[in-house]
Amino acid sequence: MSKLERPEVVVVTGASAGNGRAIVRAFAKRGAHIGLLARGHAGLEGARRDVETLGGKPVVIPTDVSDPAQVEAAAEQVEETFGPIDIWVNDAMTSVFSPAKDMTPQDYQRVTEVVYLGYVYGTLAALKRMMPRDRGRIIQVGSDVAYRGIPLQTAYSGAKHAIQGFTEALRCELIHYNSHVKISMVQLPGCNTPQFSWCKSNLACFPQPVPPIYDPDVVAEAVTYIADHYRRELFVSWMSIIVIQLNKFFPAFADWYLGKTGFASQMTDKPTSPHRPDNLYHPADEERDYGARGVFTDRAYNRSFQVWLDTHPGVLALAATALMGLLGFALVRRRQ
């Protein structure tokens, strides 16, 4: 439960499935009042039931985040229903698994409008309300590919890079205005979500997340933590940090390595079904509720050591202090 005298008011885009659905459940357990924004009817109804069962209060608002008018209207409806928005989580996404040579300009435009501009429109709607009150949290659910693009996901990689740049620039503006509104990014690794079953694919084989794969509840833990404890950025996987640092110093090697392994690592040996759903232009969860998890549950980690470190900074500081003390003691003994 929030420390506020009233229940916290939260908006989650992409609330019907995947990481967004897990984030919704995590805030519902805190008794939050939650605006559920997504397109699919069945997924939204499933999210509504989750919130009510777990102790929160929902308002279901069918929304295509690529339309700024719909996003603005949704924000207005949330505040009319529950009062001032405290936390806005941008999570809505779509993608196309495909080599760039097989993509269309229309598909690039659609992914960019949802994944990048959807975050921009959500952020603007939140800022419009939060800045005059001088309080509020905006959380961007990002990705490793915001730092290191990968093959077969050129549209998604480009959009996540754009979100990273937009968020960094906006954070500087908030500092300039001495604003108490805070914006953070939670950078995700591969996650076990339904996107691999319903995102458009031009691949011959069923797509998969690049290992290591994490359960959506791990993402929800990171998001709810950062809602309470401001961090400019939080990484869900230790592997993300290693990859990003290696890419800074050896980008050409990363290009070569991903060129050689990035195709196979994102495909299973299962052929793509001709009846595969496609949520790029129309919701795939209009009649079926996919929930939070995808089909890789048996391979997904339900805990993250990196998230544990991120959410226990005192332990890390204590360990670093102890290590420095041991090194200092060893140097003194050596000089004696």
Tell me 116's DSSP state.
Answer: I
Q: Which of 116, 206, 195, 207 is nearest to 155 (CA)?
A: 116
Q: Which of 220, 244, 234 is nearest to 309 (CA)?
A: 234
Alpha helices, DSSP H, located in the chain: 18-29, 41-54, 68-82, 105-111, 118-133, 154-176, 195-198, 216-228, 238-249, 251-261, 305-311, 313-335
280 neighbors 198 (Cβ within 8 angstroms): no
Q: Is the dihedral of CA 99, 105, 111, 117 positive or negative?
A: positive
Please tell me the distance from the alpha carbon of residue 304 to that of residue 222, in angstroms, as a whole number: 10
Q: Which of 197, 195, 168 is nearest to 184 (CA)?
A: 168
Other Cβ atoms less than 10 A from the Cβ of 234: the count is: 20
- Token look-up 């357990």 returns 29
156 among known catalytic residues: yes
Q: What phi and psi, each to the nearest 5 degrees, are found at residue 35? A: -85, 120
* 295: CB partners within 8 A, 6+ apart: 192, 196, 197
Spot the catalytic one: 156, 257, 290, 301: 156
71 neighbors 63 (Cβ within 8 angstroms): yes
Residue 297, classed as helix, strand or coil, is: helix
Active site residues: 156
